Every structure is written in structure tokens, then in C-alpha cells.
Amino acid sequence: MKKAILMLVAASAIIVGTTSCKKERMPKEAITQTETVNMNADESYTFTLPKNLRNDPYEITHEASHFSLSEVTTNASGDMVYKYTPANGYVGTDEVTLSNDQEREEHKGHPAGPSQGGHHKGNCEGGEEDHYIITIKFTVQRQQAVEHN
């Protein structure tokens, strides 16, 4: 009888231990950030992306419309950066959105559930990860002529 109770307690502990990491949790609210950039038509722009616990890569979730270069890469210091160069001769506005949680972005607006992206990566890896959504709004203008007196 004692063995049966001991086995039941051990089995219960194993079940609880293995399912606690798989339990669905509501992800933290996304950290949204908007940058406004005024630049000349012949310039390039580089933005250092915020660091996150697991160093999750950033992806472009809404691509700029008028670019010759729009990419997420790593700089010499190992920081993730976004680089943008407007299309040759383009003057006007442009916008790009970046995120470090593509799965969550794909399910934005859907109820969280087992197949809807409610599980946030890393629940058993030492805490929740910060999810960033960064929008960069560009105003590209012709380079102003310098007046000489």
C-alpha cells in the first residue's frame, strides 16, 4: 500500500514538472517604439535595435516602399542594426516596421490559444522575452544648397 501511494505521488510530481513549462501563458505586452527620421535623398540611415534576453533576431514585418537598401544586419560590435538607403532620386515619405517575434506578429489580432501563438517562446528558459515592434518613419528630402555670403 505504501509503495502504491509513493508511486502515485512520484507520478504526480513528474506530470506536474513536465507540463508546467508547456502551460500556455499570456505573452507580455509588446514594447512599441516609433522613430521619425528626416534625411537627405543621398544619405543612408542606421538604427541600432534594442537588445533582448535571448538575442532573438529582428525581422522586417512591413517593408519600406522606396528603398535601394533595407536590411537587418549586425554591426562590428555585434549589435543588431537596421540599415536604410532610399531609392536613387526618391524624395518623399517611407516607413518600415521591425519585430523580434515573427510568430507573434503573424498572429496579432487573433485570440491566444494552443494553435494561435499564445505560447511565448522561452517560458522555461528563465523568464519572458521582451517583444519589440519598431516603426521607423522616414522623410526624405532634397539636399538643401548651402548659401555662401
pLDDT of residue 68: 97
Distance CA 7, CA 5 (A): 5
This prediction's pTM? 0.66
Greatest extent of the chain over all pairs of C-alpha atoms, in Å? 102
Contact of 91 with 41, CB cutoff 8 Å: yes
| Cβ atoms of 94 and 140 closer than 8 Å | yes
Interior angle at CA 14, CA 120 and CA 129, nearest 5: 15
Q: Is domain 26-108+129-144 annotated with CATH 3.40.50? A: no
- Specify the higher pLDDT residue, 24 or 38: 38
pLDDT tens-digit series, residues 7-25: 666 666 666 555 555 545 5
* pLDDT of residue 146 exceeding 60: no
Q: What mean pLDDT do residues 67-71 have?
A: 98
What residue ranges do the domains of the chain occupy? 26-108+129-144
Compute CA 94 distance to the chain's CA centroid, rounded to the nearest angstrom.
19
